[in-house]
A and B are shown apart, each in its own frame.
Chain A
Amino acid sequence: MKKISWRVIIVLSVIVLAAIYLLPTVFPGLWPYKKINLGLDLQGGMHLVLEVDTDKAVESNMERIAQEFKTLLRTKRIRYSGIDVLNGRQISIRLREKENIKAFQTLLDDEFKELRQLSRIESEDALELVMDLPDKETDYIKKLAAEQALETIRNRIDQFGVSEPDIRTQGERRILVQLPGIKDTERAKELIGKTALLEFKLLNENYDVPSALKNGPPPGSEILYQITKDAATQREIRTPYLIRKQALLTGAYLTDARVQIDSQFNEPYVSIDFDRKGARIFARITEENVRKRLAIVLDNKVYSAPVIQEKITGGAARITGNFTSDTAHDLAIVLRAGALPAPVKIIEERTVGPSLGTDSINKGLVSMWVGGIFVVLFMVLYYKGAGVIADLALVLNIIFIAGGLAGFQATLTLPGIAGIILTIGMAVDANVLIFERIREEVRVGKTPRAAVDAGYDRATLTIMDANVTTLIAALVLFQFGTGPVKGFAVTLSLGVISSLFTALVLSRLIFDYLLMNRKLRRLSI
């Protein structure tokens, strides 16, 4: 009796535990515990893997250094014949005349200690220098770019408002984004993938655009396009602008961006506020360039190029360019969250519509019921009374798997449902092994008591062995699998463990109870 009582306690506490975890899924709000997580393939949603172009981050860092060189050389009145960025990671500087070279050398030693010299060609009155950043520094820039990109994307998604997004790094330069239940996937991709580099640049009005288009832009300038859509004809119109490459002000100085409605044209626009430093720069630009045109460029697309009428203080500007309220809203979000430090590319996408997810759940449940009912009926027909015990074990098995899913906060996926269905088929195996053994012992002429004991004793080790191999396969899958396949590994492992428990502890307990308390003379098996 004593032996039974502690097993009763274990079995009951496992059942109660499973029920505690599981009930909130069946009756939401019964007590505060989370429901079983459904995978993206069941509830619909989007899974994205983005790759951060970290080389670009290094390149723009080099561009920044080149710009710094130019400014410093100009303020110190050192004349140079060329400063260029090579291959996106080296900087080459050419100077003439002795005094320039000498002054430059001092500047280099004082201000640019971190640069590594790659080659130096020096003659009497000329110097050509190629430098880059040490590997440790470029690695740091790359790492930082990936981290910043993750933070920026998380910010954008938080502001966009998606419930329970999952955003994490994957490897060195990849970002995994999972947005359950999202419907407008196109808009979400637009929001996540936009670099959102906002720049204020002057138009080069000394050359006319047609000749620049034909002969190539003059040095220091480039052709950028404004893309508008004609509402009446639904056609895209691309307007070229000749724009100076140097950005006078960027979105880095933004403090806020909001959607406003133009009272005159009833069109949405995005109003932006700069911080104090940004406001000062903006005031200086507008003061120095009155009557000139200033282009507002976002990700190398011109949004507008108004003529500066007067000096603008106060640090506020507006971005117009036929927005819908959605696009204006999303632009405000990406501007507030800040620019990505480097462009990102979508390298993996898995999108499941909500209707397909519901279909999958229904089909999975139907095949589970059909398979389950067959197995239950079969066991009762084949093993009679013992079959009922096996069926009870089977039902508890499914409850334990579901309870385990809820308890471990694991995710149920479509292959996961397949795993549960497989478990239904394979879980009876342990019981079949035991029952066949008991039948053999009964045939040899043993009493029910002895037959049950011998059957369990002999089958236990075999059952353990047989299940360990499946468990090994499941654990390896869990380690290497992604998304849906991981869900399969989870339910399969839970199924193996719980079927071991129900066969070796629970059904044994019922047999023992029947044999001891009811003093069964004949086994129904």
Chain B
Amino acid sequence: MQFIKSDINIDFVGKRKIAFFISLSMILISVASLIIHRGPRYGIDFAGGTLIQVKFQAPVDIDRIKSGLSSVSLGASSVQQFGDPADNEFLVRTDKTEAAEQGFALTLSKALKTATDSQAEIRRVEMVGPQVGQDLRKKALFAMFFALLFITIYISGRFELKWILSGVMAGALMTAVYLLSLFNVSMPFLILAALVVTLILFWLLSLRYAMGAIVALIHDVIITVGIFSIFDKEFTLPIIAALLTIIGYSLNDTIIVYDRIRENLRKYQKQSLGFIINRSVNETLSRTILTSLTTLFVVLSLLVLGGGIIHDFAFAMMVGVLVGTYSSIYVASPILIAWQERDNRP
């Protein structure tokens, strides 16, 4: 069986302007949504607060639950149906952190029972104090930062075979970040600054493959975060894990196309770069589609059957796989051409 014919020759490179336009508008929409929503919506892992998962024996009305909550002074909390509607499960979120107080769970389940006439089972309580939330946020950002740093070092060394240069670059990057941290810059800006420094360094040192890979990766993460923001989903620790996995996955795709480009550069020395890139993308297209398909399917089965707790994680992975596949075809490779055009200009 074969989905993609071996002699396939789609003109990906020729449509790069359209792809560029699509990517740019998706990024702009993502950024706009983040601005409108005033940054990402942090879950209790990062913002602090309490999350309570309650299961009722019979169907209940959300308003009833709310009135039960206000009788234990949790009136300001948000109540949301959770998982399959037939499960009668609800998530209660509040920024209060008193739920950890002794005897609270008992009081709450009693109050809910009185308000809804249905036995309430408290299945999960997650309370994160404000200080812990701040610590976790810092930790997550550190994780993102170090993942980016190590991946940058690896791909600049591996693609360009300039390990010493990549070592120097890592040093420069660390120094820049260290200097910035002396000024007490907040962590998101630090990461942003680190990315800008990385891109400038790649540009100056002419590490074009590395640059293409990093641009594709930033593209994927921004759009995934943007779609999360558009759907008003929460950022939690597992979502950070999903984002890092997406980074790994997106690079995986990009690396495979790049490897083929470098192989073909040796093979067809007389052809134009545009031809070589297009041929390489076409040659690896079958593999790209197949792997995305199998990954997408398992992620979908996790999304549909995995239950409420893992739902958002699977959603992030699904978006990431789709965007990552797109970017390895339409973003990472055409950037190499843009580079060449820059070099050819007088």
| Known A351-B125, A425-B298, A461-B259; contact A469-B155, beta-carbon cutoff 8 A | yes
Nearest residue, chain B, Cβ from A374:
B297
Q: Give Cα A372–Cα B305 distance, bound, in whole angstroms.
A: 13
Q: Is the CB of B142 within 8 A of A353?
A: no
A115 CB–B CB distance under 8 Å: no
Name B220-262 residues within 8 Å CB distance of A. Answer: 237-238, 240-241, 244-245, 247-249, 251-253, 255-256, 259-260
Majority secondary structure, B binding face:
helix
> Could you tell me if A421 and B298 are in contact, using CB atoms closer than 8 angstroms?
yes
User: In the complex, what's the smallest C-beta–C-beta distance from A47 to chain B, in angstroms?
Assistant: 9
B132 near A422 with CB under 8 A, answer: no
Whether A422 and B244, one on each chain, are in contact in the complex, defined by CB atoms closer than 8 angstroms, is no
In the complex, are the beta carbons of B290 and A432 less than 8 A apart? yes
In the bound assembly, the distance between CA atoms of A189 and B104 in angstroms comes to 11
> Quick check: is A326 within 8 A (CB to CB) of the other chain?
no
Q: Mark A118-158 against chain B: 1 for CB-CB distance below 8 A, else 0.
A: 00000000000000000000000000000000000000000
B53 contacts A470, C-beta separation under 8 Å: no
Q: Is the CB of B310 within 8 A of A418?
A: yes
- Does A428 sit at the interface, judged by CB under 8 A? yes
Contact B298 A375 (CB under 8 A): yes
Q: Is B143 an interface residue (CB 8 A)?
A: yes
Complex Cα–Cα for A41 and B308 (A): 13
Cα distance, A370 to B314, chains bound together (Å)? 15
Cross-chain contact B298 with A371 (CB below 8 angstroms): yes
Contact flag A415-B297 (CB < 8 Å), given A429-B252, A440-B283: no
Number of A-B contacts defined by CB within 8 Å: 227
- Asked if A333 is an interface residue, CB under 8 A from chain B, the answer is no
For residue B299, CB closer than 8 A to chain A, the reply is yes
Residues of B within 8 A of A471 (CB): 248
For A365-391 the 0/1 string (1 means CB < 8 A from B) is 011001110110011011110000000
Query: What is the bound-complex CA distance between A428 and B122, given in angstroms?
Result: 40
Tell whether, in the assembled complex, residue A367 and residue B301 are in contact, meaning their CB atoms are under 8 Å apart. yes
Q: Determine the distance from Cα of A385 to Cα of B293 in the docked complex, in whole angstroms.
A: 20
Alpha-carbon distance A433/B300, docked complex (angstroms): 23
- Say how far B158's CB is from chain A's closest CB, in angstroms: 6
Chain B nearest CB, measured from A420 CB (Å): 10
Please report the C-alpha to C-alpha distance between residue A224 and residue B163 in the assembled complex, in whole angstroms.
Answer: 70
Q: Which residues of B contact A355 (CB under 8 A)?
A: 121, 123
* Complexed CA–CA distance, A458 and B317 (Å): 29
Interface residue stretch chosen among A21-29, A196-204, A273-281, A472-480: A472-480
- In the complex, the answer to whether A484 meets B290 with C-beta atoms within 8 Å is no
Q: A-facing mask of B274-298, CB < 8 A → 1, else 0?
A: 0000000001101100110111111
Q: B residues within 8 A CB of A468? A: 154, 158
A436 contacts chain B at the CB level, 8 A cutoff: yes
Indicate if B128 sits at the interface (CB-CB under 8 A).
yes
Q: Does A350 contact B (CB under 8 A)?
A: yes
The answer to whether A485 and B241 touch (CB under 8 A), given A190-B102, A347-B131, A363-B306, is yes
| B185 at the A interface (CB under 8 A) | no
Interface pairs (21), CB distance under 8 Å: A186-B103, A349-B126, A350-B125, A350-B126, A366-B305, A367-B298, A367-B301, A367-B305, A371-B298, A371-B300, A415-B238, A418-B314, A421-B299, A421-B301, A425-B298, A462-B259, A470-B252, A472-B248, A473-B147, A473-B247, A476-B150
* 5 extra interface residue pairs, beta carbon distance < 8 Å, beyond A51-B129, A415-B313, A426-B295: A367-B305, A384-B1, A477-B244, A485-B240, A489-B241
